[in-house]
Chains A and B, each alone.
Chain A
């Protein structure tokens, strides 16, 4: 059973079809990098997968169940376009809040563990509004991993991260993949994404124009896929 199963997905904004007949799946323990230009439909696809938006047609299953089912949501980790963190709360308060909402037995322990893993333990009592963009993104990473998700849906996860933080996130994602987690990420940072990905998808104007395994050729020349299948 695939961890992410998308079948005949359509989404319209007014009359404009943002997604057209998108069908693909991601096997458990795999990492798919979903590539595409701005406005291609990557974020729309991820929002539907996260259960934040309803498709016009088609169906989405995560871990064999509907993406809006509480059980699925409890096992899904998300990094969205916005960081999903409260500015007026401290780092630890934010993580404890989400720990409680995800029903963790010990939200404080989980929060402290992930603050340490993301290198934010020294500012755990600081208000998020005082954080830099990179620190906020790291906190968003900690929030996404907090409940040990089985599927991770990441929209531009490397945005605003410096080299060390990118390495940290790649390392966390590798560990998650090794433990059987499935990752689907959209990104413009091809090299970082392709280093992790086992599979690659390319969306062009709402259509999924390519899906397949990541090849050495893609690693050597990250722009090749765009030139071959994308817009010129």
Chain B
């Protein structure tokens, strides 16, 4: 019970801080919209190719935009040595980590929900035909990305080039999850349900989330105490 309360307190604190300053979310939304706009010049919205690459395109945009949110996650704690006070408090590393993951996942989901309608308009795609499945993929992938990103945000918080190091370290780790998300999103945007061979990708995505969440929760205490 205390664990849950501490986790939600950390998540609430991060959301409140971010929504008050709106530094990361403004940058992330703007970046995502600019990439969507630029890609729309590269691909013909009337072509079938656009539909075929829609999943890949969307998740590349979300992954790049997400890095801006994830970069801020632990660097926000550096001002006034706030991270020290959190680590010295009776909050477990796991509660601190999961609180931050929840906050980051909510912020990235907001970015995704803003981008989806824009994507539909720019690329002339009806993405609402398998809405339930699409939101399931969105939630699972967003969780996986934020777990890895938040963990590496903690690892790189004291590095001088952390803004550069975070994407370099995080994107290779995200490849299995992103591959599954891209495949499933393309299928769902085409109006087909997740069934048959596509279930493998869904299982991969769930496994990806479970493995990385377990690993991160087990290791975060070591990462936080130098």
The residues of A with any CB-CB pair to B shorter than 8 Å are 47, 50-54, 68, 70-71, 73-74, 76, 78, 80-89, 93, 97-98, 100-103, 136, 143
Contacts and interface: CB of A to CB of B under 8 A. Distances in A.
B88 A50 contact: yes
A209 to B, nearest CB: 27
Interface string B64-91: 0000000000000001111011111111
Given A88-B20, A89-B16, A78 B81 contact: no
Q: Which of B6, B17, B81, B90 has the most CB of A within 10 A?
A: B90
Contact of A73 (B17, B79, B82, B88): B88
Nearest to B9: A100
Interface in B195-226: 225-226
B42 interface: no
Contacts of A88: 16-17, 20-21
Given A52-B225, A83-B81, A88-B16, 11 more contacts: A78-B88, A82-B82, A84-B84, A84-B85, A85-B82, A89-B13, A89-B17, A100-B6, A101-B6, A101-B86, A102-B90
Nearest to A127: B20
Given A52-B87, A52-B88, A53-B226, A83 B13 contact: no
Interface residues of B, number: 25
Contacts of A74: 90
B90 A98 contact: no
A84 B87 CA distance: 11
Closest 8 CB pairs of A and B: A82-B81, A84-B85, A74-B90, A73-B90, A82-B80, A100-B9, A70-B90, A50-B88
A97 B9 contact: yes
A76 B9 CA distance: 20
B92 interface: yes
Contact of B226 (A54, A80, A85): A54
A83 B81 CA distance: 7
Nearest to B99: A101
Given A84-B81, A89-B17, A98-B85, A103 B226 contact: no
B99 to A, nearest CB: 10
A85 B193 CA distance: 49
A125 B220 CA distance: 34
Contacts of A70: 90, 92
Nearest to B88: A50
Contacts of A73: 88-90
Q: Which of A71, A88, A97, A98 has the most CB of B within 10 A?
A: A88
B2 interface: yes
17 contacts: A50-B84, A68-B225, A70-B92, A73-B88, A73-B89, A76-B88, A80-B85, A80-B88, A82-B82, A85-B82, A86-B17, A88-B20, A98-B85, A98-B89, A101-B89, A102-B90, A103-B90
Contacts of A83: 80-81
A51 B80 contact: no
Contacts of A80: 81, 84-85, 88
B129 interface: no
B14 to A, nearest CB: 10
A87 B80 contact: yes
Nearest to B8: A100
Given A74-B90, A101-B90, A85 B80 contact: yes
A81 B225 contact: no
A210 to B, nearest CB: 28
A89 B20 CA distance: 9
Interface string B15-41: 011001100000000000000000000
A226 to B, nearest CB: 28
Given A83-B81, A86-B13, A102 B89 contact: yes
B23 to A, nearest CB: 10
A52 B226 contact: yes
Contacts of B21: 88
Q: Which of B5, B10, B84, B88 has the most CB of A within 10 A?
A: B88
A76 B16 CA distance: 27
A203 B13 CA distance: 38
A84 B82 contact: yes
Contact of A52 (B2, B20, B84): B84
